[in-house]
Amino acid sequence: MTQDDAAPYLEANRAWWDHVVPIHEASRGYDREGFLRGEKPLCPVELEELGPHVEGRSLLHLQCHFGMDTLNWARLGARVTGLDFAPQAIEAARRLSEDSGVPGRFVEANVYDAPTALEGERFDLVYTGIGALNWLPDIRAWAQVVTACLRDGGRLYLYEAHPALYTLDEEQPETRLVVRYPYFPQPEPLTTVSTATYVDGPALPPMPTHDWIRGLGEIVTALIEAGLVIEFLHEHREMPWQALPWMEFVGDGPRGADGRYQSGRMWRLPAAQRELVPLMYSLMARRPASD
């Protein structure tokens, strides 16, 4: 889908994200207070795979939301810039930086305008976290943006929900993994009117969001076409939220009245299903040095 065609969808999405930022700031799920106390680290996979590369490096976080993950990278020694198109998210990120004393720069812009908004600045690292790529109508244009924002030799790191997970029917009884939704990218977005966000909080007014299925093949191909060299693509059996009601918490954690875990780090499928489907993927790609 061209960006002109997508403009009304992105406008609706931006309004929704602006609406949910204060809800997320106040949520137990994001646990802002915990972050201020120095808790709420990044996911174990991210820490293991990108952690060793960040100290002293410049890092651009695309679609940074209200900056918690961005500032977590700063706590590990990166010089961070977060970019998001929702004004409320950027304001909240600046507040989080100020309240926590963790330095970070936050820029309000559409991902597709990042090279212009950042005046051509190039970074050692570009990072994109969970729940980002599905909001983008044009994945090839996104890959071009990533390349434009990396210095020669710089790296993209991506940690995302696996598209295979999104094909599964969450309303089945727990013994059945059933494919219900398409895996392959569709030209038209999926329009949803949710009564809640993905964390705890008050009911939402009926505001539509529009997102796109992003297959692994098109993401990897777009990055290669944009000139990046893929260093690894890992698929994972654990994930940082309970995407299906019967997933097991890895470790222990507090449960709510409904029996579901309220917080904690990672979930996985029960042993009998664990080898059947990947839940997350992570990818590292490098912009080669120019000749």
CB 243 to ligand SAM: min, Å: 14
DSSP label of 278 = -
20 binds ligand SAM (CB under 6 A): no
Question: Which C-beta is closer to ligand SAM: that of 65 or that of 214?
Answer: 65
- Asked if residue 45 binds ligand SAM (CB under 6 A), the reply is no
Instruction: Kindly write out the interface string for residues 89-128 of this chain, putting x where it contacts ligand SAM by CB under 6 A and - elsewhere.
Output: x--------------------xx-----------------
C-alpha distances in Å from residue 31, one per residue of 11, 40, 48, 55: 28, 7, 22, 25
The residue from 45, 90, 130, 226 that contacts ligand SAM (CB under 6 A) is 130
- Assign 288 to helix, strand or coil: coil
Residue 63 lies near ligand SAM (rule: CB under 6 A): yes
Number of CB atoms found within 10 A of residue 213's CB: 17
The bridge status of strand 190-193 relative to strand 208-211 is antiparallel
CB of 87 to ligand SAM, least distance (A): 9
Q: What is the CA radius of gyration of the chain?
A: 18
17 binds ligand SAM (CB under 6 A): yes
Write down the least CB distance from residue 6 to ligand SAM, Å: 9
- Under 8 Å CB-to-CB from 218, ≥6 apart: which residues? 139, 185
To which residue do tokens 């994930």 refer? 239
CB of 183 to ligand SAM, least distance (A): 21
Q: Segment near ligand SAM (CB under 6 A), from 64-72, 147-155, 199-207, 259-267?
A: 64-72
The amino acid at 84:
D
Residue 45, φ and ψ in degrees, nearest 5: -65, -45
Binding footprint of ligand SAM on the chain (CB under 6 A) = 10, 13, 17, 63, 65, 68-69, 84-86, 89, 110-111, 129-132, 135
